Structure 1
Amino acid sequence: MDKSISVMLMYLLTHLGLIFFLYPEDIIGSTDSAHWIPIVIGIIVHFVVISIYMKGLSFYPKWDIIRIYLNAGKAAAIIFLLPVTLYFFIIAILAVRAYSEIICIVFLSNTPLWSIMMLLLFVSTYLAAKGIEAIFRTGVLLAIIFLPLISMISFTSFQNINWYYSFPLFEQDFSFLTKPSYFKSFFAFAGGFLFLGFIQPVITYQRKKILLAALFLIPFFIFSVYIPILTFGEATAVTLHFPFVVVVETINISWFMFDRVTMFFLLTLITFSMLFISITLWQANRIISKCLPIIKPFYLLLAISVVIFVSCLMIPDWNSVGNLFLWNTPLRFFVLVSVPLSIYFLGLRFKRKVGHELN
């Protein structure tokens, strides 16, 4: 049964949870003008990557990427699945630690950080244990409830902007390509597309609808960066942590029954982030379960969650989180580039092999 709508919504929600928190600060910090250029480059890379990835997956209609790599040989499985698993661990650790820090700063300043991390990880682990269909059903429900709210807040955040701050529109050079913060910004692209290769054949979808979902994300990539700049100016926006969240704090909606729009905005994004963490845990568990079939997947998932929680406890402060995002850059680009390309070329080889056998 085609479930393209569910996959589209999951693709949107997992990316939105990454875009509004971390992406604006990295892009604003990478250049002092013409921010649309690094944004557009990232979006182009995003579309190229998911197009190649889904084209490669289309050669294997009933296979997930674990089976694809295992079919290619033990060496291919180790070369690609081992870094992917490590990447899942790292992004889960960073997501749990970063989002818990945000919750602690904005809502629960007197609550111990470890308890927030435990709660966030518990909910995500519970969802992952229920399986991919439960995660997707939860995603559809959250999309129905929260996507209109996110859209409303995004558009009402234009109320305090000054278009003068958008100039200059052109950059004399491309120095942002050498800035670590720009490479960190690809976290918003690299973590959210891999699940498309794990859900086959349980959940089927149409490629063009996923591209449509990616197209729908483009305004949010732009808004998340430009609204803080147009509100505060580049010189001020570059000094802010979570600049879009700060902008939301300035929004005044007279007909809204609650005083703090920020609270609902952040709670919405936190629910999206829990979906992202849960699907990341589920993917990591799928790979490890395939390698260790003698251990029940549920116990493996618990072990993964414990490792992630202990790792989060070992991160002392927010600066260390930023350093981990930076140190993770080579692995991030390895996954972003090598997985789609390898799936595509393995798919071409598989197609030729099947064609020869039929002839």
Structure 2
Amino acid sequence: MNKIQTVTLLFLLQLASVFAVLPERMIAASSGGHWIAVTILFAVELLLLWLYLKALSLFPGKTVVEICIGAWGKWGTRLAVIPLLVFLMLDLILLAYYQSIEIKTVLLQQTPIAATSVLFVFLCLYGAWKGLAVIIRASIGWFFLFMPFVLFSVLISIKNFKFHYMFPLWSGSMSFLFHPDFYVGTVIFAGFLFLGMTSSETRIGFGKAAGAVGFSFVFALFSVYIPLLLFGQETAIHLQYPLLLASDTIDMEWVVFDWLPSFYVVSSSALGILKVSVLLWMFVSLLHRLFMPKANSRWILSFACVILYLSCQLIPNIGVLNSYLYLNSYFCLYATIVFPILVFLAAQRRRKKVSA
């Protein structure tokens, strides 16, 4: 396990969120100048990432839980972590359902969602069972195995671009700031939270982490503008899977799959498994450390996966999924904005205690 692997995992987690959430939400949130909304999201993430890593750098070898316990005690830390746990569970359910539906729609049309979701959840269970250290080490192989699929699926439709759909480039009203879809997009911030739960040997500096975020920013712009340049704002805003459908605008007889969106589904599903595995590990680790220290962590993981699978079956359709996404955005804002700030304040408070 080394820092290159940790940076790679951070980038892949960012990419998983970008593909699952960003295109549809940014197109819905803004009628023009979509790059502004994306840039603001990533600028805010860089600020929060700096605060988060700054807090961790003050106490090498300590996790965010240990830092918070040192500042506020166990009960104060539990209160701070409860909304984060709610966010993690809701995000797990929504992402697992989204990926299962995508697999069913493109690859396994005749297969019921109960079957595709059980396969998806089982693979995520296996990843979380192995632990974060194994996931981090596997991230390099994951990168080289699936990034060619990602690049191919994202860039395959470039020859059909209509560049006049890019305009207007500037939206002076900033109306997207008042649109709920913009705040659903803050789920991309969740990718860096795992950094506070790794050992000091795998900690990375702000520069390396910012490089991973910056690289994912380029993909975020591609993910939003590719559907826009193909379909235009008036059409793209009504599409459920805009980036997926963008890859279906090209007909290549030499391709190994009959339908080009298969490339996109294979790559995005692999990234989804990676992200859900990490979020599951985080959820179980926090639950075990703060609320159930005497329970076996693998039993907690198994029970969480059963809940995850059953919850996926209770979502009737994609419309209900969207309503849950809006609900989860409130917990997401806490988990990805308030919680890193609280960790920074806890580190400052604990440092003053140590100095005194």
Assess same fold via TM > 0.5: yes
Deviations 1:154-176 (A, max 9, x none): 33332111111111112141221
Q: Kindly state the Cα deviation for residue 254 of structure 1 after the two structures are TM-superposed.
A: 6.8
Q: Does 1:295 align with 2:295?
A: yes
Alignment of 1:1-359 (within 5 A): 3-72=2-71, 73-189=73-189, 191-201=190-200, 203-252=202-251, 256-290=255-289, 291-356=291-356
State the alpha-carbon separation in 2 of the partners of residues 10 and 258 from structure 1: 28
The change in CA–CA distance for 1:253 and 1:16 in structure 2 (over 3 A counts) is: farther
The change in CA–CA distance for 1:74 and 1:54 in structure 2 (over 3 A counts) is: same
Q: Kindly state the Cα deviation for residue 228 of structure 1 after the two structures are TM-superposed.
A: 0.7
TM-score, with length taken from structure 2: 0.95
Question: SS at the partner of 2:200?
Answer: coil
State the alpha-carbon separation in 1 of the partners of residues 27 and 89 from structure 2: 27
Q: Kindly state the Cα deviation for residue 128 of structure 1 after the two structures are TM-superposed.
A: 0.6
State the alpha-carbon separation in 1 of the partners of residues 169 and 148 from structure 2: 31
Q: Kindly state the Cα deviation for residue 226 of structure 1 after the two structures are TM-superposed.
A: 0.7
CA contact (8 A) 1:65 1:198 kept: yes
Structure 1 window deviating more from structure 2 (68-77 vs 307-316): it is 68-77
Deviations 1:79-110 (A, max 9, x none): 21111111111111111111111111111111
State the alpha-carbon separation in 1 of the partners of residues 297 and 79 from structure 2: 23
Question: SS at the partner of 2:181?
Answer: helix
Q: Kindly state the Cα deviation for residue 206 of structure 1 after the two structures are TM-superposed.
A: 3.0
Q: Kindly state the Cα deviation for residue 285 of structure 1 after the two structures are TM-superposed.
A: 0.7
Q: What amino acid sits opposite 1:155 in the alignment?
A: L
Structure 2: where are the runs of 5+ without partners? none
State the alpha-carbon separation in 2 of the partners of residues 69 and 256 from structure 1: 52
Q: What amino acid sits opposite 2:240 in the alignment?
A: H
Deviations 1:9-50 (A, max 9, x none): 111111212212321111101121111111111111111111
Q: Kindly state the Cα deviation for residue 204 of structure 1 after the two structures are TM-superposed.
A: 3.0
CA contact (8 A) 1:22 1:242 kept: no
Q: How many residues were matched structurally? A: 354
CA contact (8 A) 2:121 2:305 kept: yes
Deviations 1:190-218 (A, max 9, x none): x2121111112363333321111111111
Superposed CA RMSD in Å reads 1.7
Deviations 1:277-299 (A, max 9, x none): 01111011111111212211111
The change in CA–CA distance for 1:327 and 1:183 in structure 2 (over 3 A counts) is: same
Q: What amino acid sits opposite 2:338 in the alignment?
A: S
Q: Kindly state the Cα deviation for residue 301 of structure 1 after the two structures are TM-superposed.
A: 0.6
State the alpha-carbon separation in 1 of the partners of residues 257 and 317 from structure 2: 32
Structure 1: where are the runs of 5+ without partners? none
State the alpha-carbon separation in 2 of the partners of residues 188 and 280 from structure 1: 13
Q: Kindly state the Cα deviation for residue 321 of structure 1 after the two structures are TM-superposed.
A: 0.6
State the alpha-carbon separation in 2 of the partners of residues 24 and 298 from structure 1: 35
CA contact (8 A) 2:152 2:263 kept: no
Question: SS at the partner of 2:281?
Answer: helix
Structure 1 window deviating more from structure 2 (61-70 vs 93-102): it is 61-70
